[in-house]
């Protein structure tokens, strides 16, 4: 038995039970481990889907160029699909990103343009403006824009949602995912609630982001915005891919709680995952403890990526101490 290309190995990631970290709770807490994807994150699902939908809609022709502002998991997902399908990739990123992330994208043949961090989004040199400009200048190029592209949500509606439903044999009662572009939480929640409207969806936001207040009050409050270090979740905009009507609760998690839980996932569960995974598990356990989780309940938490990208940060004691997350 073999796969015709690496792209066929995307999805069908395992569900794993949390033992030690959830031993005070009745019921079953499961995590869906997305680092089993070939690009080591949940974003392989949307990289492939955004490109395939663009092909179907005639937005990109053979030999074309994919352009996106990303340094992270989405770049990896797009680059993987582009290698197999014969497209070029140009990614714009900021100079605060680590060199290893940029090297990783270059290893897959992508061109990476490094832009200054300290400029407004509408500055012509921002990574956002440069991506936009290149997509206008380069013929047969395609700018996926994961924030507003409906293929992002649709990828999760078609894959992540059905996988969770089948893997739990329809017994899932709670679904928990971090909120970045909103694609994962919204697309999966839509599918699960169509199967069983009683399923509760909990979105995980980062302290310093606008989502929580927007969910609670409907107000977009710029005063909520402050810098934070958890990568991949929280925003200072409301992208089209977030659908608050599909969420039952939004929980904010701060960097310290997120990172200490990330380390506990490695040391107590053998799950070597990234910082947004720690945030999701911290928020999920808080929700379960405060909402009379019972023995028939089955919670599924998405773990978006791997710990390898965070070795010099979350898994480095000096870095953790410098930021006040660990006592020296």
* Binding interface with ligand PMP (CB under 6 A): 43, 72-73, 178-185, 231-233, 274, 276, 304-305
**Residue in this structure with the two tokens 């490094």, named with its chain if needed:** 114
- Rounded Cα distance between 279 and 203, Å, is 11
DSSP class of residue 138 equals S
Cβ 230 to ligand PMP, closest distance in Å? 8
The tokens of 276 are what?
Answer: 């947004």
- Of 89, 116, 119, the C-alpha closest to 104 is 89
- Rounded Cα distance between 287 and 20, Å, is 17
Cβ 103 to ligand PMP, closest distance in Å? 18
Beta strand residue intervals within the chain, DSSP E: 15-17, 28-33, 65-69, 88-94, 111-115, 141-142, 174-178, 200-206, 249-253, 298-303
Nearest to ligand PMP of 205, 224 (CB atom): 205
- Rounded Cα distance between 197 and 190, Å, is 9
209: left (phi over 0), alpha (psi -120 to 50) or beta: beta
Cβ 226 to ligand PMP, closest distance in Å? 19
Catalytic residue, from 32, 43, 49, 212: name it: 43
> What are the start-end ranges of the H helices in 60-143?
73-85, 99-107, 127-137
Nearest to ligand PMP of 25, 229 (CB atom): 229
The tokens of 313 are what?
Answer: 């940060």
Per the annotation, the verdict on 43 as an active-site residue is yes
Nearest to ligand PMP of 115, 177 (CB atom): 177
Cβ 232 to ligand PMP, closest distance in Å? 2
Nearest to ligand PMP of 156, 293 (CB atom): 156
Cβ 33 to ligand PMP, closest distance in Å? 13
Cβ 44 to ligand PMP, closest distance in Å? 11
Residue nearest to ligand PMP (CB): 232
How many Cβ atoms sit within 10 Å of the Cβ of residue 29? Answer: 24
The tokens of 200 are what?
Answer: 């509760």
Nearest to ligand PMP of 293, 310 (CB atom): 310
- Rounded Cα distance between 178 and 279, Å, is 8
Nearest to ligand PMP of 64, 67 (CB atom): 67
Q: Which residues are catalytic?
A: 43
């Amino acid at each position: 038995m073999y796969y015709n290309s690496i792209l066929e190995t995307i999805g069908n990631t395992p569900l794993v039970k949390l033992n030690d970290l959830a031993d005070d709770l009745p019921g079953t807490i499961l995590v869906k481990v997305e680092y089993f994807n070939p690009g080591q994150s949940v974003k392989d699902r949307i990289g492939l889907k955004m490109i395939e939908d663009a092909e179907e809609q005639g937005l990109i022709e053979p030999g074309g160029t994919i352009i996106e502002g990303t340094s992270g998991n989405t770049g990896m997902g797009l680059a993987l699909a582009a290698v197999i399908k014969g497209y070029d990739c140009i990614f714009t990123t900021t100079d605060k990103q680590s060199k290893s992330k940029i090297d990783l994208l270059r290893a897959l043949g992508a061109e990476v343009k490094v832009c200054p961090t300290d400029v407004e989004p509408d500055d012509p040199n921002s990574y956002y403006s440069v991506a936009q400009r290149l997509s206008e200048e380069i013929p047969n190029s395609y700018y996926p824009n994961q924030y507003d592209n409906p293929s992002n949500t649709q990828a999760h509606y078609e894959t992540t949602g059905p996988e969770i439903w089948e893997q739990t044999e329809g017994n899932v009662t709670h679904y928990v995912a971090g909120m970045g572009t909103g694609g994962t939480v919204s697309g999966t929640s839509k599918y699960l609630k169509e199967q069983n409207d009683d399923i509760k969806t909990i979105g995980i936001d980062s302290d310093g982001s606008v989502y929580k207040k927007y969910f609670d009050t409907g107000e977009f409050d710029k005063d909520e915005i402050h810098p934070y270090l958890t990568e991949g979740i929280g925003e200072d905009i409301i992208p089209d891919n977030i659908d608050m009507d599909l969420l039952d609760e939004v929980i904010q998690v701060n960097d310290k709680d997120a990172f200490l839980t990330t380390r506990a996932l490695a040391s107590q569960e053998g799950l070597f995952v990234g910082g947004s995974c720690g945030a999701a598990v911290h928020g999920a356990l808080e929700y379960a403890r405060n909402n009379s989780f019972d023995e028939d309940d089955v919670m599924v938490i998405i773990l978006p990526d791997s710990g390898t990208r965070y070795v010099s940060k979350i898994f480095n004691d000096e870095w953790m101490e410098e930021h006040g997350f660990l006592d020296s």
